[in-house]
Amino acid sequence: MTYGRKNLKLEFHQGIAIPYYLDKKRDEELIGDVIEFYESNIGKPYGSIDWEYLRIIIGDDRLYNALRKVMRIFYRPRDVKLKPIVNPKSLRLRIFQLVNEKYEGFIPSDLRDKALEEIRRELRIGYDIDEVLWCDDVNELPLTRVREVTVDEVVKAFNFETIDTVCVNSSKIIIECSRSEKLLGVLAKSIGRYCKLYGLVYDMRYVNELFRATIEGPRSLFGKPTRYGTRLSLLLTKTLPILYSMKNWNVKAIMYTQRKRINVQVLSDNLKPELGIVSELTVKEIFDSRIEEIIYRILKTTKLHITREEEPIALGDLIYIPDFKVRTSKGVFYIEIAGYWRKEYAEKKAYKLHEISKIMKNMILIADEKLKPYFNKLKIPVIYYRMVGGKPILPYSKIIKTIKEQ
């Protein structure tokens, strides 16, 4: 969930924008007052709440608007479960007709309960009239607490939504860390995996002593530059536990407003808002695709010594992350898997493999036969498979033979 770019509060330093994050120590009193405001209004019709008083408490219009949206995680107008099977508008018309017929258009307060009960029986309604009469008007619904709330939880939720708001309105994110970081391989593999999953394009390389990963949507002449912003946000969220476990790192974004492009320092080892991320990191074996997993499982049953590569390979400045590594008596061999992708991704993959194949010769590509037009000019062995009933049909003997002959 994003609370909207117009509500994003930024501070500028030397041309770089830094998002405003909440801090539990600094903002404890403010958030406590916000929670107290909501608690004091529980049960009141949503439209009768004095929201201007909350604006005064917060003291900043952008922060007020952003916090109101974030607080919907914890407080909302009560949802009426009968709403899908009840037409409130029709119900109101029938009740108003009966009130006009029986009570001349007005029910005295001392007779209200008795009158509603008579109307309920006459209309054969099996639910509370008050509960559903105005359930299509959010302003008439009472405010309720939908989950437990603390200052700590509000701070974490707001900070997550701030990151999401930046990414959703960005065309690319740049992740950098020290080349000597122990978790560099895990980070690189994670970026590569989630780029495949979310249909993003990455470029990873070493710049002096830095590892730099630039992630964006496939380049296109048409469409908004931020069209892949939601996917960038998802990828960054998935990699945050790794980044928060590292020592020297930063995340930047190229964000767009209606008028200009803004360089944003989203996060860094010195800009780590409270997000509730655990410090211990458990890395699970996750495959980029079902095809990759099937090929890996089958090749594991052969006599080949095959493993999933964990560390990025430096090819000059370029960084390459192969899918599998095979050890043979002649040395190390790499296998790359290419599924059936859209044109933009196939072209990007073909170009990257072309550049890699200039330096590396000890590799083969296993690809969907539908990708032949993109890979038929590569200078490395390419073995194609076809899909039958959702499963890849591969010439496994040819794969093994090709590896042993290299």
Task: Find the CATH number of the domain harbouring 377.
Answer: 3.40.1350
- Does 1 map to a domain? no
Residue 405 burial (10 A CB sphere; 0-12, 13-18, 19+): exposed
In this prediction the pTM is 0.70
pLDDT class for 126, splitting at 50, 70, 90?
low
- Does 11 map to a domain? no
271-319 tens-digit pLDDT: 999 997 644 444 445 565 677 788 788 778 777 788 876 566 777 777 7
Domain span including residue 129: 83-140
- Does 53 map to a domain? no
Structural domains of the chain, count: 2
pLDDT class for 2, splitting at 50, 70, 90?
confident
Looking at residue 247, what is its pLDDT?
Answer: 93
DSSP classification of residue 288? S
- Does 35 map to a domain? no
Domain boundary among 140, 159, 181: 140
330-384 tens-digit pLDDT: 788 888 888 766 777 778 788 888 888 888 888 889 888 888 888 888 888 999 9
- Does 3 map to a domain? no
30-67 tens-digit pLDDT: 999 999 999 999 999 888 999 999 999 999 999 999 99
Backbone phi, psi, residue 15, to 5°: 85, 0
Instruction: Say which residue the tokens 């930046």 belong to.
Output: 166
- Does 154 map to a domain? no
